[in-house]
Amino acid sequence: MKALISVSDKTGIVEFAQALHALGVQLLSTGGTAKLLADKGLPVTEVAEVTQFPEMLDGRVKTLHPMVHGGLLARRDTPAHMAALKEHGIETIDLLVVNLYPFEATVAKAGCTLADAIENIDIGGPAMVRSAAKNWADVGVITAADQYDAVLAELKTAGKLSNKLRFEMSVAAFNRISQYDGAISDYLSSVKFEDEKLSEEYVPTRDLFPGQSNSQFVKIQDLRYGENSHQQAAWYRDLYPAPGSLATGVQLQGKELSYNNIADADAAWECVKSFDVPACVIVKHANPCGVAIGKDAHESYAKAFQTDPTSAFGGIIAFNRPVDKAAAEAVSKQFVEVLMAPAFSAEALEIFKSKVNVRLMTIALPAGGATDWDNGRNAVESKRIGSGLLLQTSDNHELTLADLKVVTVKQPTPEELNDLLFAWNVAKFVKSNAIVFCKNGMTMGVGAGQMSRLDSARIASIKAEAAKLSLQNTVVASDAFFPFRDGLDVVVDAGATCVAQPGGSMRDQEVIDAANERGVAMVFTGVRHFRH
């Protein structure tokens, strides 16, 4: 048995090669990999000795040769293939171990030059991988270090690789080539070429939306059904998921997550992790029905639950702090579909042990930083339409006190300003049209997803009344501007004393005059939060 090893990432390769050698496998290799293995005392033959042609062009040409590809592509069950190998002195290669030049990591670096990007496009590696993967019935192809153990296990027990493992590795190999080519296409079709001199230091400007979109996703699991039982569904994650995102979560117990569970869990998690202080978010049918901050998980949950106990039944609950015994005891009294937190105490886990259907998930909070990735957020989001795709940058805008523009005679109090920021943050996660009443770091009434902003305002008031919550002296966030004064009158009639809205309507002055007439404060945020 003969193995050809040529890897860019050499993690674990020495140990793997040593194990192959111990099993009697002959080793072929190239360049730096061959030197590394030889330095470790392994008997390795350089590919140049086999091809009788030296590596050239700074290593760009070394394996693109019939002595290599013939050994990979020849079908062992086809006499004509084997006769051709014999005629030309080509020996078969039974195992290929290749990982590719780090193109994705290279272009992800700040200041990556076009020259560096181009130089990290692997040619020989993908060509060999494709050859071996096509001939999977005879050749095993390894494209990742996490495949080493499975290969060694079968070689040790059976002396050969099973058809099942070779096929699985072939599929993984073609997937890797697809990912690699997609990354190259994404990068090159985003480059705005502006340097006719082609200097080595040229760092190109890149378009946020490339000429071709080649997003790569990996299946996490098949789902029982989609939004409805007659629909099929599966859950996929980004090839490189951002830390702190839902796709990185671990389910500790409970039934399998459903399509709707996952969609609602994402809405809850994205909302709760946007707060710097202890917070709880309860989501039902993609909308927050209760959000609050408190001194700890228990207090924030107690306040969030008050907003709409009816809708909270069968909801999704997310915390941005560990769930302790007190919080767990409180949550366990209601019917909950999914419960998410960075961690659960031993006492909390014990409380939920008897509730076997409750899905518990842990998700580590992102470390935070300057980029969307650092904060576990998508930089770009998509929406599928008929025979097409809409892409846009995600709504990751964060409002600060300095952004608020007071447009009324009455000035908001410091407490009202803090509640306005809280309400505005919640409104970002409520479906449009969105109206959110808040007070003391707690949602008091949420109106979501209505065709009319007036209806959203009325629904928020109805829900507050049903929950026996007073809207007197509350603040209100509206995700888009009030086109007429009637919407403002509805929230003021309900008890609001301070309102935040984007502004930008032709009738802004009419609404400002109405606020002054009603004796309430109003601030403009300058941005809106449509969420469809």
Active site residues: 134, 285
Q: Check the CA dihedral 126-127-128-132 and report its sign.
A: positive
Instruction: Specify the DSSP element, H or E, that contains 523.
Output: strand 521-524
Q: Which residues contact 517 (CB under 8 A, 6 or more apart)?
A: none
Q: Which residues contact 433 (CB under 8 A, 6 or more apart)?
A: 447, 448, 449, 450, 451, 452, 453, 455, 456, 478, 479, 480
**Hey, what are 253's tokens?**
């117990």
Q: Check the CA dihedral 165-168-173-176 and report its sign.
A: negative
Contact yes or no for 381/266 (Cβ under 8 A): no
Closest CA to 308 of 269, 339, 281: 281
Alpha-carbon gap, residue 254 to 438, rounded angstroms? 33
Contact yes or no for 486/363 (Cβ under 8 A): no
Contact yes or no for 275/254 (Cβ under 8 A): no
Residue with tokens 């060999």: 128
**Hey, what are 56's tokens?**
């050239």
Please give the backbone phi and psi of residue 167, each rounded to the nearest 5 degrees, phi first.
-65, -45
Residue 507 DSSP SS3: coil
- Helix extents (H) in 428-522: 453-466, 485-494, 508-518
Alpha-carbon gap, residue 239 to 179, rounded angstroms? 8
Alpha-carbon gap, residue 44 to 28, rounded angstroms? 6
Alpha-carbon gap, residue 313 to 335, rounded angstroms? 6
- Helix extents (H) in 275-433: 297-307, 309-312, 325-331, 346-353, 414-427
Instruction: Give the DSSP per-residue string, 59-127.
Output: TTBSS-SHHHHHHHH--TT-HHHHHHHHHHTPPP--EEEEE---HHHHHHSTT--HHHHHHT--SHHHH
